[in-house]
Amino acid sequence: MLTDPADPTRLLVETSDLDGGHELVRRYGAALGEIVAWAREYLCRPHGDLGRKGPVCPYAQTSLERGTFYLGVHPGTPDGAEAAEVLDGYRDWFLRLVSPPGVSPQYRTILVLFPDLSEAGAAEVIDAAQEALKSRYVSEGLMIGEFYPGPPPKAGLWNPGFRPLGSPVPLLAVRHMVATDFPFLREDPAHLAAYLERFGHRPPAALREEIQAAARHHGLLAAT
């Protein structure tokens, strides 16, 4: 269990803590266990509807194995603005965390669970918070992802009929931006500019032409 030096009330649960007796784990152990099982059984495995080879999330397995998969819990039923404010503290802490030696920061993630939200109310709260946060996160080289039962209506990149963001507990996930995030950022010029700042000179070869075309569309410069 990690405690934020900037706020001792803010905790991060590691997978090794799930068998422990901490009050947070005793109270929300079922939700925490559901998400760890979901990560192992869904994120870390291929899916027939995904539309590409490989696991649903290419980074989850290493994150779990190397101890950089962290879980936060926010009790209660916040609205979207309150949930976004909660994430501000976790974002700041995420930027201060240091990965173990030899583990790339791209494998570090924080999943902030909102286990007391009803399934009916989760979509409004999580979507509103994600929308409020995305531009700021992207400008800092981060991504913020929305997950909840339903699933969210956002389509998969390789199969428009697949909805990949369903999870058994409502949550918002924080991670570093990676070069393959281009499809999530291409439509917004500010988001694309933040992407190009980090990856414009070393884009994935398979995406180079699409990146250049999107940059031209938005009047931005990209590597040739």
What are the sequence ranges of the domains in the chain? 2-176, 179-224
The reported pLDDT for the residue numbered 20 is 80
**Low-confidence spans in the chain with pLDDT less than 70:** 222-224
User: What residue type is 48 in one-letter code?
Assistant: G
Q: Is the peptide bond before 151 cis (omega within 30 degrees of 0)?
A: yes
Model confidence pLDDT, tens digit, residues 100-158? 888 999 999 999 999 999 988 999 999 999 999 999 999 999 999 999 998 888 888 88
- Residues 6 or more apart in contact with residue 41 via CB below 8 angstroms: none
In the block, tokens 């180079």 appear at: 208
The reported pLDDT for the residue numbered 75 is 96
What φ, ψ does residue 170 adopt, rounded to 5°? Answer: -60, 135
The reported pLDDT for the residue numbered 222 is 61
In Å, how far are 18, 28, 68 from 21, measured between CA atoms?
A: 8, 11, 21
User: Quick one: tokens of 224?
Assistant: 């040739």
The reported pLDDT for the residue numbered 162 is 85
Q: For residues 182 and 157, is the Cβ–Cβ distance under 8 A?
A: no
